[in-house]
Amino acid sequence: MKSTPSPRSLDELTLDTRFSIQELISRESFEDLLGSLRQLFGVSLRVFAKGGALFAESGPGSPLQTYLGSLPGGRRAVRETVETVKSAEPEAKGAIRLSCATGERYAVIALQYDGRSLGRTVIGPYLDLQDGACPEGLSKCDPLLVPDRLNEAWSAIPKCSESSIARLVEHLKCVLDLILFSGHRALLASNMHLASVQESYRELSEKSATLQNAYERLKELDRLKSNFLATVSHELRTPLTSIIGYSEMLVAGIAGDLNEEQRDFIATIHEKGEQLLELIKGLLDLTKLESGTLNLHKLDIPVLPILKDIVHTLTPTARNKGVILSATGDAGIPTLWGDAARLRQVFLNLTENAIKFTPSAGHVTLSAQITHVALASDEDEGPAIVLRGVKRPMIEVRVADSGIGIPEGERARVFDAFYQVDSSSTREQGGTGLGLSIVKRLVDAHDGTVHIEENSPRGAVFVVRIPCKRLSFMG
């Protein structure tokens, strides 16, 4: 025997079909039905479960039985009948008719479903229409018996013709069969619902586990890729340093004089070597940012000097392209909380990018201002948001260009590593696609945000927001 109940299997419910009557029929409703049959036919009905326990009855028992039961001699007189009624095992078809020593009659019918016994139904007591007065012997069964009370109880026994009883038996069999069938059907349907849900759940859990495994494997592959990038970048840098160093020495004439053409060639080698070194540094930064090993030295720093320095650095590049580069900002804006060198890299990357995609006679403008940003609810560090205040002061740096702009659908993806809006091999603009990815990761590491807006009438605005102060309960 199982100690805990579990839903019964489909096979148990269909092949076995060893039910108890309690499983298939609601007792209260069933007693209502028996009560209404009693009203209709005038006789009492009792249903016993398999094993003999009373399951349901149409109402109080027979007054004669109750009265005789209160007397020792009366109890003796009816004992035999009670035993017979209790032990009678009727066949599936038909009913057993029993006559009691008291003169009362009973009909017992089998309660069966799918060829299995579920119990018995006892109809009665009743008297046939021809039955006369109370048997004489009955009044002498006990010295304390009061004849008037016996006669009163006798006359209360319902009279019913055998043909009505036969009709009742047929009717009851039909009704019981339907009720048991419906009960079985409902039991099966509810168990099937449960089993189907369990089965679907099992199926989904398996699929989910497979997906989880695939996800873990991809994460591992991603980690391996980052490691690989870091190692390769590092290994590339060493010989490159020699190439740059020796080309510098050649240009400086350490190995002897060079003619104009040789100097040009070596200058190109040097320049391209430097470009390659920048790219490798970018890759190294990216892998460090991905693995979380990049250390930021955060301080309170003013933003305007950084922007002005960038304009100063990139003005020659902008001028070569015919792009006008400028920086604006309120002198009184607060400092921000960050790593000056890394933030410089952020704004430098964005500005270089802006110049690259802006045609001649276009503008690239850097501006800084303070803004207050509502806290997202999932930004839940420390105690409740309500204690911290809902708005957070941030420095907003906008790098606006009048270039080709970025289509709405591409705006989130440009921050992915190696992503290029125009990835065709014939694209106009060069680049590795690393710059913006590094920007995004550095800004994230500063607990800030970066997004792209549209510039009017054309171009794109990269908006970077960096917190003024550490985000903490202390403020």
Q: Which residues of the chain form contacts with other proteins (CB under 8 A)?
A: 9-11, 14-16, 114-115, 181, 184-185, 188-189, 192, 195-196, 199-200, 203
Q: Are 125 and 56 in contact (CB under 8 A)?
A: no
Q: With respect to other proteins, which residue has the nearer C-beta, 179 or 421?
A: 179
Question: With 0-12 CB in 10 A as exposed, 13-18 as middle and 19+ as buried, what is 302?
Answer: middle
Q: With respect to other proteins, which residue has the nearer C-beta, 192 or 276?
A: 192
Q: How far is the CB of 207 from other proteins (least distance, A)?
A: 12
CA distances from 44 to 77, 106, 124, 153, 448 (A): 21, 10, 5, 15, 84
Q: Tell me phi and psi for residue 219, to 5 degrees.
A: -60, -40
Q: With respect to other proteins, which residue has the nearer C-beta, 195 or 463?
A: 195
Q: With respect to other proteins, which residue has the nearer C-beta, 203 or 274?
A: 203
Q: How far is the CB of 9 from other proteins (least distance, A)?
A: 8
Q: How far is the CB of 200 from other proteins (least distance, A)?
A: 5
Q: With respect to other proteins, which residue has the nearer C-beta, 198 or 242?
A: 198
Q: With respect to other proteins, which residue has the nearer C-beta, 170 or 274?
A: 170
Q: How far is the CB of 173 from other proteins (least distance, A)?
A: 13
Instruction: State the Cα–Cα distance between residues 464 and 368, nearest whole angstrom.
Output: 9
Q: With respect to other proteins, which residue has the nearer C-beta, 32 or 114?
A: 114
Structure tokens at 35: 């009560």
Instruction: State the Cα–Cα distance between residues 420 and 158, nearest whole angstrom.
Output: 97
Q: How far is the CB of 188 from other proteins (least distance, A)?
A: 7
The residue written with tokens 């043909």 in the block is: 163
Q: With respect to other proteins, which residue has the nearer C-beta, 186 or 376?
A: 186
User: How many angstroms separate the most distant Cα atoms in the chain?
Assistant: 152
Q: How far is the CB of 170 from other proteins (least distance, A)?
A: 15
- List beta partners, residue 96: 108
Q: How far is the CB of 10 from other proteins (least distance, A)?
A: 6
Q: How far is the CB of 110 from other proteins (least distance, A)?
A: 15
Q: Tell me phi and psi for residue 457, to 5 degrees.
A: -80, -20
Q: How far is the CB of 175 from other proteins (least distance, A)?
A: 14
Instruction: State the Cα–Cα distance between residues 307 and 125, nearest whole angstrom.
Output: 107
CA distances from 142 to 93, 139, 174 (A): 39, 7, 42
Instruction: State the Cα–Cα distance between residues 245 and 270, nearest whole angstrom.
Output: 8
Instruction: State the Cα–Cα distance between residues 211 and 206, nearest whole angstrom.
Output: 9
Residue spans of beta strands (DSSP E) within 252-311: 299-301
* CA 363 to mean position of chain CA atoms: 50
Q: With respect to other proteins, which residue has the nearer C-beta, 114 or 380?
A: 114
Q: Assign residue 52 a region: left if phi > 0, alpha if psi is -120 to 50, beta otherwise?
A: left
Helix 435-445 and helix 260-291, axial crossing angle in degrees, nearest 10: 40
